Structure 1
Amino acid sequence: MAGPNTTHWKLDPHTKAKHEILRHYLGGWFPVLSAYNGRVVFLDGFAGPGRYENGEPGSPIIALTTLLDHSYFPRMRAEFLFVFCEPEPNRFASLKSEVTALQNSRSPWPRHVKVILLDKPFQEAASDIVEDLKRQKRQLAPTFAFVDPFGFSGLPLNLLRDLLASPRCELFVNYMVDSVNRFAGAGNVDRHLTELFGTDQYKEAATLAGRPRQQFLHDLYENQLKAVCGFPYVQSFGMINKSGHIGYYLFYGTRDIKGLELMKEAMWKLDPGGDYRFSDRLVGQDILFIEDRLDVAPLQQALLEQFSGKTVPIQELENFTTIRTPYKKTHLRRPVLAPLEKAGMIKVQRPGKHGFPTGTMITFTAG
């Protein structure tokens, strides 16, 4: 684990897992956003040194290579702007060296891929961006903000709100729930916690203990991302440390259901069971899981309860599955709707002869 003056440190399993989610998501995000926008921004608020102790790439290098190595990259015409913030001098020097080495190895460097290195804290850099946008009366270009601090200070919710106010901006933030859980109610870091949550409601956790306390703090942060930052779609992923406790959550916030679908796909690759968790203690063990054997009974029951006696388009069922359940929309048709139709529990009006294509209407029998 990195200390305040550590330049490089070992890559923990949960950090590697976090990077895998990031890599999978960006692999889908880059081509989609660049197809409809002239500029796309990746902002790494706590960039680090660029490499880990044994040479593994950090998030800035992962983000850059995910774009450069993408099979669609030769056809992407948007300008890609990468902004990396790292205030610690030695880490910044290492990051600059790693980025330069990557650029030299990919010579000639693509003219539409630009990198800005900022040797300042995320809070300062984000505040500068917000002030510049206000002066110019402009909105931020479509941005994926990866905010991955070591603690919970320097991460004001109101700043995230102002920075990512544009409808096409998204947030992927590391919420250190274990640290918050320890200090909530202690009184000595209330200023930082009030900034983090954008409210002092976290103090209500003082009367709780154990899992209910942690769940309350998780739900409060999720609700604040929705209410304050205006992200209607929020998905979290828990990282379980070697002691068996959730050390932090990764929270993803977006205003686009397509983004939510993409992030759930990325998270399912790490935890193919819908719990949205990764445990350090399982590293090196084979996970015996076949998606065809996934238990879809909870999804089936949720659909029957929600839509009993109603006729709805297939798109509404997809949206419900994506937004209101842990499942992906790919779990809907063959695993759930096909058996329900066979059992006579739904009636299907489809534009074709087979399947559940766009335009299909589903009638649920009253239960």
Structure 2
Amino acid sequence: MYLSRECNIIEEKQSPIGVKKLSWEIKEHTKAKHKILKNYLGAWFPIMAFTNPKIIYIDGFAGPGRYKNGEDGSPIYALKIAKEIYEAHLNRLENKEFVFFFIEANKSNYKSLQHEISQLSLPKNFKIITKNEEFSETMEKLFSFFDTTGKGLAPTFAFIDPFGTKYVPFEIVKKIMSYTKCEVFFNHMYSGVLRSKDVTDHTQLYGTDKWKYCLNKPEKLTELYAFQLQDQAGVLYTRSFNVRNRKNAHIFDLIYATNNTLGLEKMKEAMWKADPLGNFQFRDITIPGQIVLFELEPDLSLLKKFLLNEFKGKQVSISEIENFVLLKTPYLKGHIKNKTLVPMLKDDLISVLRPTGSKSGFKEGTLITFH
């Protein structure tokens, strides 16, 4: 065990004596992925810490902590974001516990990670736990501890970003999601499934052998994984995001799982804020036929189409519309009123019945009829 400048760092191995020169060079699509995660953590940390005495952040494939040219790895920027939020709200958070699990199986990366964490000055109530072992191994030990003691997992956000063809058994993710207020953000790289011939690994990854029916349409593998989360793990809400280069070649898919509508809203906001420029693009691929590109000027004609398909011939409240957009489309609440309903009103696609005393806008209590 060793201590950083202020916070507690706990691990079972010796702290690093010699750290090899960093060799990982960050890729542009990794920067894009990290941007989404940063955006979301900026919302998740304060929301959860304000309302819970203890929260947990898990990075299952933590890496070396820093890239070749000095860029922060995901564990370091997670700690920095949490520290910034903690210091900005010290009066509300000084008695809260922030727990960080950083898991890295590669010994060289692990030593580098320990070194990078030790250079940070962090609050005393930040508890850092590092593990030099496989993600699944650490989680199985945690689950065994909880099952034995009767304790549960505190509100947790698990970032699962495996390297190459490494697999995370579906049962691990399912178990995480069985605890209250837990979320998973999973990098699903199905290219490894297409390359590997180990069918046992595939079945463990998806929790079913139905993956074999998707090999001719590999994009269906992400759809299968999200279905399994809802059907087998009981997850209420999932969103799937696709990252492609400008030549439309698939890079990876990101799958988010939560049982909380506020979390869903914040993750969608994080995706829209990321808005990758240059060589990459993000698309929401949650629902077949509803693929939406995240860009500075979104195509709101698709939102208009979704609303008409859902509500044509009906009179519904503005809150019903907002709920539909949040849960059933890739769009945000901010895309609804002025950007979509106002043009639809001008085009006589809807009529509006406002509450007494309200002459404009779409306040609570407003009823909209879709023609």
Range into which the TM-score falls when normalised by the shorter chain: 0.7 to 0.9
Shift of 1:305: 2.3
- The match for 2:361 among 355, 359, 362 is 355
Which whole-Å CA distance do the structure 1 matches of 2:356 and 2:186 have between them?
Answer: 42
Which whole-Å CA distance do the structure 1 matches of 2:191 and 2:247 have between them?
Answer: 12
Identify the residue that residue 204 of structure 1 maps to in structure 2.
213
Which whole-Å CA distance do the structure 2 matches of 1:296 and 1:272 have between them?
Answer: 18
Identify the residue that residue 171 of structure 1 maps to in structure 2.
184
Superposed CA deviations along residues 110-168 of structure 1, whole A, max 9, x for unmatched, are: 12211111111100001011111111212211100001101343401111111231131
Which whole-Å CA distance do the structure 1 matches of 2:45 and 2:244 have between them?
Answer: 29
Identify the residue that residue 168 of structure 2 maps to in structure 1.
155
Shift of 1:19: 0.8
SS of residue matched to 2:184: strand
Amino acid at match of 2:182: C
Superposed CA deviations along residues 71-98 of structure 1, whole A, max 9, x for unmatched, are: 7442442211111001211111111110
1:299 matched to 2:303: yes
Amino acid at match of 1:80: F
Stretch of structure 1 that moved more, 237-246 or 154-163: 237-246
| Contact 1:80–1:112, Cα closer than 8 Å, also in 2 | yes
State the number of aligned residues: 334
Identify the residue that residue 232 of structure 2 maps to in structure 1.
228
Amino acid at match of 1:193: H
Shift of 1:192: 0.6
Which whole-Å CA distance do the structure 2 matches of 1:21 and 1:323 have between them?
Answer: 19
| Contact 2:244–2:282, Cα closer than 8 Å, also in 1 | no
Superposed CA deviations along residues 274-311 of structure 1, whole A, max 9, x for unmatched, are: x7349xxxxxxxxxx653xx331221122122112333
Equivalences for 1:78-157 in 2 at 5 Å? Answer: 78-102=96-120, 106=121, 109-157=122-170
Shift of 1:313: 2.5
- The match for 2:199 among 187, 190, 195 is 190
Which whole-Å CA distance do the structure 1 matches of 2:236 and 2:72 have between them?
Answer: 32
**CA separation of 1:202 and 1:24: change in aligned 2, threshold 3 A:** same
Shift of 1:268: 1.1
Which whole-Å CA distance do the structure 2 matches of 1:242 and 1:302 have between them?
Answer: 26
SS of residue matched to 2:119: helix
Tell me, which stretches of 5 or more residues in structure 1 are unaligned? 279-288
| Contact 1:31–1:76, Cα closer than 8 Å, also in 2 | no
| Contact 2:182–2:258, Cα closer than 8 Å, also in 1 | yes
1:339 matched to 2:349: no
Identify the residue that residue 31 of structure 2 maps to in structure 1.
16
After TM superposition, the score normalised by the length of structure 2 is 0.84
Identify the residue that residue 50 of structure 2 maps to in structure 1.
35
Identify the residue that residue 252 of structure 1 maps to in structure 2.
256
Amino acid at match of 1:246: H
Which whole-Å CA distance do the structure 2 matches of 1:262 and 1:99 have between them?
Answer: 27
Tell me, which stretches of 5 or more residues in structure 2 are unaligned? 1-19, 285-294
| Contact 1:181–1:217, Cα closer than 8 Å, also in 2 | no
Which whole-Å CA distance do the structure 2 matches of 1:335 and 1:262 have between them?
Answer: 20
Shift of 1:349: 2.3
After TM superposition, the score normalised by the length of structure 1 is 0.84
1:65 matched to 2:55: no
**CA separation of 1:76 and 1:53: change in aligned 2, threshold 3 A:** farther
SS of residue matched to 1:65: helix
Which whole-Å CA distance do the structure 2 matches of 1:233 and 1:352 have between them?
Answer: 37
Could you list the runs of 4 or more consecutive aligned residues of structure 1 that deviate by over 6 angstroms after TM superposition?
none
Identify the residue that residue 51 of structure 1 maps to in structure 2.
66
Superposed CA deviations along residues 213-242 of structure 1, whole A, max 9, x for unmatched, are: 122212111111222222221112222258
> Alpha carbon RMSD of aligned pairs, Å?
2.3
Stretch of structure 1 that moved more, 60-69 or 244-253: 244-253
| Contact 2:32–2:276, Cα closer than 8 Å, also in 1 | no
Which whole-Å CA distance do the structure 2 matches of 1:258 and 1:351 have between them?
Answer: 30
